[in-house]
Amino acid sequence: MTGLHTTLARRGLMFILSSPSGAGKTTISRMLLGADDEINLSVSATTRPRREGEIDGIDYHFVTPDKFAAMVEADDFYEWAEVFGNRYGTPKGYIRKGLKEGRDFLFDIDWQGTQQLKQKDDQDVVTVFILPPSLDELRRRLESRATDSEDVIDRRMDRARAEISHWAEYDYVVINDDVDACFVKVREILHAERMKRQRQTGLIPFVRELMG
Amino acid sequence: MTGLHTTLARRGLMFILSSPSGAGKTTISRMLLGADDEINLSVSATTRPRREGEIDGIDYHFVTPDKFAAMVEADDFYEWAEVFGNRYGTPKGYIRKGLKEGRDFLFDIDWQGTQQLKQKDDQDVVTVFILPPSLDELRRRLESRATDSEDVIDRRMDRARAEISHWAEYDYVVINDDVDACFVKVREILHAERMKRQRQTGLIPFVRELMG
């Protein structure tokens, strides 16, 4: 009990990062997953066929369209969406088990997925919106990928504006004008949220023992 | 707008640290004040006579008992208390001005002061409770000060238990089993709270300009 760095049992959290494409969300996510052992990327279920090299249960939970439909029917998803004819969703079961065991889950989802998730479980969800410093900068970042035509980039910019319009639905907002500084801020949010009283399930037994 | 580390206008916050005497609150407070330019210790008003070396407006706002009573009557305090016949209180005026200007205030107060403060302004208040790793350790820390008799220490321990019994009224709880680790955690909480959407008053004009 008196050892250094007492670690108490805690309930995990669902950590949502949203941003327009090009604002650095994927980079920040990777940095966070690399720096922190207690958080993992949530694994979606999908009806999309498995591609070469993809592993069931790691990249996705691959399920048949019938199975997916049955899971929707049974309210087994926190959120789901259809993209280009394939369905993607976050299955509740393994997340719930992980949260109880004190593991955190990182979600890289848009404002619609975020709304659905908060609807299902607001208590365990922490939402962070990453803003680009400017739209010019965002366009530069999209253009520097150099794989897309001007038309595609215009459409991505429209989608970026639509995504940004939902910034005010998030708990925290961070401007990514420097990726390292942005990462530090996002990690501070994660660390602070872990110290919220309600998440520290080990506090009640700890204080009981403390008081004797 | 595209400069590094964009700084937006934000509303300040009232950062409350509570803990039993001996749990390290004063050390953590000093470390925080030394490391961070945007947070200042809140200056109390008091009816206690000014002591040699104390400066009005820095150490305390020294006021007469009549003035203090009039301020209580006018609801000019966030919280106040009487200790050994002298009154101490947190005047609203200068805190409100500071919060608007984006300055944070550190409060080193007990559970009673915390309850009063939250009653008056829950939105701007962030509360952190610091727990000792054990009561044996707390007693050791109190005894190491070596200025108090066994009797006085017993009474302090009773007061410590009473203070600890209020841990569940706080937003965040940190166990101080290592002062540097505890300081890092408390600072992460402060930094994260600054990134809360509602506190970042500059976001609305920023996004307006962003969207063009």
The predicted structure's pLDDT at residue B10: 96
CB contact under 8 A, B207 and A164: yes
- The reply to whether B157 touches chain A by the CB within 8 Å rule is no
Note which residues in 123-142 of chain A have CB less than 8 A from chain B. Answer: 129, 131-137
- The reply to whether B167 touches chain A by the CB within 8 Å rule is yes
CB contact under 8 A, B185 and A191: yes
Q: Could you read off the pLDDT of A163-195 as tens digits, one per residue? A: 999 999 999 999 999 999 999 999 999 999 999
User: Is A5 inside any structural domain?
Assistant: no
**Alpha carbon distances (Å) from A2 to A103, B20, B52, B79, B156:** 25, 17, 41, 35, 20
Q: Could you read off the pLDDT of B170-193 as tens digits, one per residue? A: 999 999 999 999 999 999 999 999
Q: Is pLDDT above 90 for B104?
A: yes
Q: Is pLDDT above 50 for B129?
A: yes
Q: Which residues contact B1 (CB under 8 A, 6 or more apart)?
A: A133, A134, B209, B210
The whole-angstrom separation of Cα B209 and Cα B203 is: 10
Average pLDDT of the segment spanning A149-156: 87
Cβ contacts (< 8 Å) between A193 and chain B: which residues? Answer: 192
Cβ contacts (< 8 Å) between A171 and chain B: which residues? Answer: 196-197
User: Is B85 inside any structural domain?
Assistant: no
The predicted structure's pLDDT at residue B5: 57
The predicted structure's pLDDT at residue A1: 40
Which tokens in the block code for residue B76? 């000019």
Average pLDDT of the segment spanning A67-93: 93
Amino acid type, B18: S
User: Is A58 inside any structural domain?
Assistant: yes
Q: Could you read off the pLDDT of B149-161 as tens digits, one per residue? A: 888 888 889 999 9
Q: Is B121 buried (19+), middle (13-18) or exposed (0-12) by CB count in 10 A?
A: middle
The whole-angstrom separation of Cα A80 and Cα A8 is: 33
User: Is A8 inside any structural domain?
Assistant: no
Structural element, H or E, at residue A86: strand A86-91
CB contact under 8 A, A212 and B164: no
The whole-angstrom separation of Cα A126 and Cα A106 is: 10
CB contact under 8 A, A188 and B195: yes
- Expressed as residue numbers, the domain containing A164 is 14-205
Query: Between A6, A132, A197, which is nearest B177 by CB?
Result: A6
Note which residues in 32-71 of chain A have CB less than 8 A from chain B. Answer: none
- The reply to whether A191 touches chain B by the CB within 8 Å rule is yes
- The reply to whether A202 touches chain B by the CB within 8 Å rule is no
Do the bridges between strand B45-46 and strand A104-108 make them parallel or antiparallel, or are there none, so unpaired?
unpaired
> pLDDT averaged over chain B?
92
CB contact under 8 A, B210 and A1: no
Share of chain B above pLDDT 70, in %: 97
CATH number at B22 reads: 3.40.50.300
The whole-angstrom separation of Cα A163 and Cα A138 is: 13
Cβ contacts (< 8 Å) between A200 and chain B: which residues? Answer: 173
Phi, psi dihedrals of residue A39, rounded to the nearest 5°: -120, 140
User: Is A115 inside any structural domain?
Assistant: yes
- The reply to whether B198 touches chain A by the CB within 8 Å rule is no
Q: How far is A114 from chain B (nearest CA, A)?
A: 16
Q: Identify from B127, B157, B172, B187 which residue to disrupt to test chain A contact, counting A C-beta atoms within 10 A and taking the largest count.
A: B172
The predicted structure's pLDDT at residue B6: 66
Q: Which residues contact B114 (CB under 8 A, 6 or more apart)?
A: B16, B18, B79, B107, B127, B166, B169, B170
DSSP of chain B: --SSS--------EEEEE--TTSSHHHHHHHHHHH-TTEEEPPPEE-SPPPTT--BTTTBEE--HHHHHHHHHTT-EEEEEEETTEEEEEEHHHHHHHHHTT-EEEEE--HHHHHHHHHH-STTEEEEEEEPS-HHHHHHHHHHT--S-HHHHHHHHHHHHHHHTTGGGSSEEEE-SSHHHHHHHHHHHHHHHHTBGGG-TTHHHHHHHHH-
Count structural domains, chain A.
Answer: 1
Do the bridges between strand B39-41 and strand B104-108 make them parallel or antiparallel, or are there none, so unpaired?
parallel
Cβ contacts (< 8 Å) between A210 and chain B: which residues? Answer: 131-132, 134-135, 164
The whole-angstrom separation of Cα A212 and Cα A206 is: 10
Average pLDDT of the segment spanning A17-44: 93
- Is there a contact between A131 and A173 (Cβ–Cβ < 8 Å)? yes
The predicted structure's pLDDT at residue A6: 66
Task: Count, in order, helices (H) and strands (E) of chain A.
Answer: 8, 9
Which tokens in the block code for residue B108? 């080193």
Structural element, H or E, at residue A62: strand A61-62
Q: Is pLDDT above 60 for B1?
A: no
- Is there a contact between A23 and A37 (Cβ–Cβ < 8 Å)? no
Query: Between B129, B188, B193, which is nearest A191 by CB?
Result: B188
The predicted structure's pLDDT at residue A174: 97
The predicted structure's pLDDT at residue B19: 94
* Interface pTM, i.e. ipTM: 0.90
Average pLDDT of the segment spanning A151-162: 90
User: Is A191 inside any structural domain?
Assistant: yes
User: Is B94 inside any structural domain?
Assistant: no
CB contact under 8 A, A212 and B135: yes
pTM of the model: 0.91
User: Is B27 inside any structural domain?
Assistant: yes
**Alpha carbon distances (Å) from A99 to A40, A134, A171:** 11, 36, 20
Q: Could you read off the pLDDT of B30-51 as tens digits, one per residue? A: 999 999 999 999 999 999 999 9
The predicted structure's pLDDT at residue A194: 97
Cβ contacts (< 8 Å) between B193 and chain A: which residues? Answer: 192
SS3 category, A12: coil
CB contact under 8 A, B185 and A193: no
